[in-house]
Amino acid sequence: MRIDIITVSPELIKSPFEYSILKRAQDKGLAEVHFHNLRDYALNKYNKIDDYQFGGGAGMVLMIEPIDKCISKLKSERDYDEIIYMTPDAPILNQSTANTLSLKENIIVLCGHYKGVDQRVRDLFITKEISIGDYVLSGGELGAAVLCDSVIRLIPGVLGDETSALTDSFQDDLLSPPVYTRPASYKGADVPEILLSGNFPKIDEWRSEQAYERTKQIKPELLDE
Ligand code: ADE
């Protein structure tokens, strides 16, 4: 899978891709991530990429022309399955979206900044808009990193143990059951007996019950879906 990230702050978003699972995915050749600095597509020598909004109002708006130039260049080189815009006024990322995107071949992720982008960018180029939550970040970069992490770890072969993504929270619309490791007893707090029993059918049953109870308590809306 190839991901092209368009941003005004490449330095802000690069580091999450240099560690752990995201790095391993790239080292294994399963994910290819490219960063494009929107300023390289600026209109003039002053690196102009944003301007005041028509009609007045605070905040600068990213202009359509540099974004068009960048997206058009990428599209001339290969076909894209999705051109995604990170913005708070969009449907919120969930596991189902991450699953779907992990099966794509090429995607572009456009990070917003300041007041956002000229609406015509959204109307003309964007195929999917994603928010990472109902709060406003300073730009789309952190959201793009969250999106890419959730997607890349699902690409087949990225996680060493194939089952570990399948048992993540949300994969079957349930939160994960609690997990424990050594020591079995710590300052009077004991690991549930059943996990030490070696009775694996019973352990599976206990985990399913716990997953259901946790979901009912913390995210009951998942059970309605
Ligand atoms: N840009 C600013 N806020 C955002 C959010 N909540 N999700 C995605 N992109 C954003």
CATH number of the structural domain spanning residue 29:
3.40.1280.10
Ligand 1 pocket: which of 5, 6, 115, 132 to mutate (most atoms within 8 A of CB): 132
The residue whose two tokens read 């699902």 is 154
Q: Give the pLDDT band (50/70/90) at residue 26.
A: very high
- CATH number, domain of 174, equals 1.10.1270.20
82, 25: one domain: yes
Strands 82-86 and 128-130, by their bridges, are parallel
- The verdict on residue 81 lying in a domain is yes
Which has more pLDDT, 69 or 172? 69
The pLDDT of residue 162 is above 70: no
Pocket around ligand 1: residues whose beta carbon is below 6 Å from it?
86-88, 112, 131-133, 135-137, 139-140, 143
CA 214 to chain centre: 24
Ligand 1 pocket: which of 137, 138, 150 to mutate (most atoms within 8 A of CB): 137
Range of the domain at 10: 2-152
- The verdict on residue 100 lying in a domain is yes
Residue-level pLDDT at 110: 98
Residue that terminates a domain, selected from 106, 123, 152: 152
148, 173: one domain: no
Residue-level pLDDT at 163: 59
The pLDDT of residue 62 is above 80: yes
Q: Which atom of ligand 1 is nearest to the CA of 135?
A: 6
- How many angstroms does the Cα of residue 114 sit away from the middle of ligand 1? 11
For residues 10 and 67, give the distance between their C-alpha atoms in angstroms, rounded to a whole number: 15
Q: Compute the average pLDDT of residues 167-190.
A: 92
Residue-level pLDDT at 170: 81
98, 129: one domain: yes
The pLDDT of residue 118 is above 60: yes
The pLDDT of residue 138 is above 60: yes
122, 186: one domain: no
Q: Confirm if 140 and 108 have CB atoms less than 8 A apart.
A: no
The answer, as to whether pTM is greater than 0.85, is: yes
- The verdict on residue 157 lying in a domain is no
2 φ/ψ sector (left φ>0, alpha ψ -120 to 50, else beta): beta
- How many angstroms does the Cα of residue 185 sit away from the middle of ligand 1? 42
124, 184: one domain: no
The pLDDT of residue 194 is above 80: yes
31, 6: one domain: yes
Other Cβ atoms less than 10 A from the Cβ of 221: the count is: 7
- How many angstroms does the Cα of residue 6 sit away from the middle of ligand 1? 15
- How many angstroms does the Cα of residue 136 sit away from the middle of ligand 1? 6
For the chain, the average pLDDT equals 95
Residue-level pLDDT at 199: 98
Q: Compute the average pLDDT of residues 130-158.
A: 97
Residue-level pLDDT at 38: 97
The pLDDT of residue 165 is above 80: no
Structurally, how many domains does the chain consist of? 2
Q: Compute the average pLDDT of residues 161-166.
A: 68
Nearest CA to ligand 1 atom 4: 88
Nearest CA to ligand 1 atom 2: 137
For residues 5 and 128, give the distance between their C-alpha atoms in angstroms, rounded to a whole number: 14
Residue-level pLDDT at 43: 87
The pLDDT of residue 187 is above 70: yes
